[in-house]
Each structure stands twice: as C-alpha cells, then as structure tokens.
C-alpha cells in the first residue's frame, strides 16, 4: 500500500493504546484521520478488528472519546478502527448544511459533480482502509462492522453488500431506508443523481430483499430519539426482515435518545455480539 499511516495521537487506555493516525487517501484524494485502538492482546499476537462508522457531523474523535468502547475491546481482545465520516480539506466539495458535504459522506461512492472526485467513502471503508490496517497493524483479516445513525446505515449496507467479508454487524439508530426519508433523499440526490434505482444499492431495506447472506443484524434504537419517526424508521427494517426471514434483533430502548449516552449504555452488548463472532 505504501506511505504508512502517521500516528498523531497516543493515549494509554484500558491496558491498550488509543491512537489517531492520518494518511493520504488514494481513494478520497485527501488526508484522512482514523482512530485505532489496539487492545493489550495485540502486544502478543494478531487480533480481529471492529470497524466503526460514525454519524452526521462526527469525525474520528466522537466514538473514541465518548463511547467507552476501549474497556470492552480490551476485555475481548478486539482492535477498533474508527475513520472520519467524509473526505475533508480545502479542495474538497462542501455544503453549508450539516447533512451534506464534509461530515456527511453517507458511505456511498458519489457519481455526480462536484462530489464524485472525493466522496467515495464506500470504497474507502470496504477496500482501502482495511488494506492499510492489515498491512500496518498486528491484526487478522477477521472483521466486524458497526456504526451509529448515518454510520449505522453505512455498516448495514456494507455488510449486506459484501457477503463473507464481515463476521458480524450491528448498528445504533441506523437510517435503515435512506431512499424513503429526507436525510437520505437529499444526500442521494446530490451524490448519486436523479436515478432512484441507483439509490437502492445503498438502502438496507432494499438490500435485505435480495441478500445472499443471512448475517444476523443487531440494532438498538432509542424510543426518545427525536429522529426515530422522521429519519430512522426501524419498523421498516423489522417488516422486511420478517418478510424475508432475515435474522434481526431489534432492541427498542425506552427513554434513550440519539446521543452518545445511548451508545455508551449498550456498547458492551454490541461488543459481546461481535466478540462471539470474531473469536469463534
């Protein structure tokens, strides 16, 4: 892969190391930052990897500083890789709104200008990032994937579109049917253009209808989430999984909202779910 990732932060955490790296991305045409947690087990051999995709407005920092994932990653011996949510930089297309442009990559490969040159987060997460991680760090090729909101959408879509590539998948508050809600319709219209058939390749509900692999889905959704009815629509995921027989555990959590307080409350259960698959 060449030009190794450069470490720019280094913090002891739960007997392992929470670091942040940066590198020039050939896929995105910009410098990317990535959080990498190596558990203590990585000092003695290779460990599996959980890839975490964050949501709108987030960077590589939100999950690694707010979720308390490190203590569970250390317990189960799992590396955690948390990239930024979009390409960034002065030469990268942007928008004044929070839900388009930098910080809002939506984990798609854009086909429309001015986005197509840089906004290829799907290829970055599926191909370039794991190739770099597996070349530079003491990790195996055993992978799982998870995320929150826009990142939960990304995790589900990437797992569904790449059978055999991930051992497990989970999501917090995912946008399950972006073709049917305002966030997704706005982003897909900009990044992918007017052909709504092209949108379906990045829609979990649509992908489940033709999924080649029945990878069990673990989804947590807070019932006090301000976006649950307008943007997230978990009932659409439940319906299509019931119709197709796709295994789904959908936990509806009373009182919980869209924040990292919610994620931190249940990240331990998600890490146990991934550990059971990764450490088989």
Q: Which residues are catalytic?
A: 149, 225, 258
Sign, CA torsion 222/224/230/233 = positive
Sequential DSSP letters for 138-165: SEEEEEEEEEBTHHHHHHHHHHHHSTTT
Q: Would you say 33 and 86 are in contact if contact means Cβ atoms under 8 Å apart? A: no
Distances (CA, A) of 201 to 2, 100, 140, 205, 236: 31, 19, 28, 10, 16
Order across the sheet with 79-83: list the strands. 6-13, 16-25, 30-38, 79-83, 47-53, 139-147, 169-172, 217-222, 248-253
């Amino acid at each position: 892969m060449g030009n190794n990732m450069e470490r720019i932060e280094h913090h002891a955490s739960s007997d392992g190391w929470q670091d942040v790296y940066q590198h020039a991305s050939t896929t995105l045409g910009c410098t990317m930052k990535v959080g990498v947690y190596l558990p203590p087990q990585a000092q003695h051999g290779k460990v599996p990897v959980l890839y975490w995709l964050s949501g709108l407005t987030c960077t590589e920092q939100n999950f690694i500083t707010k979720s308390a994932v490190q203590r569970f990653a250390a317990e189960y011996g799992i590396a955690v890789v948390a990239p930024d949510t979009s390409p960034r930089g002065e030469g990268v297309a942007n928008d004044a709104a929070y839900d388009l442009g930098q910080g809002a990559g939506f984990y798609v490969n854009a086909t429309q200008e001015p986005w197509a040159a840089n906004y290829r987060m799907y290829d970055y997460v599926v191909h370039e990032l794991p190739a770099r991680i597996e070349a530079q760090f003491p990790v195996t090729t055993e992978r799982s994937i998870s995320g929150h909101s826009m990142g939960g959408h990304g995790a589900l879509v990437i797992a569904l579109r790449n059978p055999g590539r991930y051992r497990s998948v989970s999501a917090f508050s995912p946008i399950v049917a972006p073709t049917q809600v305002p966030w997704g319709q706005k982003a897909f219209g900009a990044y992918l253009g007017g052909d709504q058939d092209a949108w379906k390749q990045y829609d979990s509900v649509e992908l489940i209808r033709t999924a080649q692999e029945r990878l069990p889905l673990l989804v947590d959704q807070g019932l006090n989430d301000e976006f649950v009815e307008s943007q997230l629509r978990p009932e659409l995921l439940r319906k299509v999984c019931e119709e197709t027989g796709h295994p789904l555990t959908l936990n509806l959590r009373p009182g919980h909202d869209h924040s990292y307080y919610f994620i931190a409350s249940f990240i331990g259960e998600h890490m146990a779910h991934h550990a059971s698959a990764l450490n088989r």
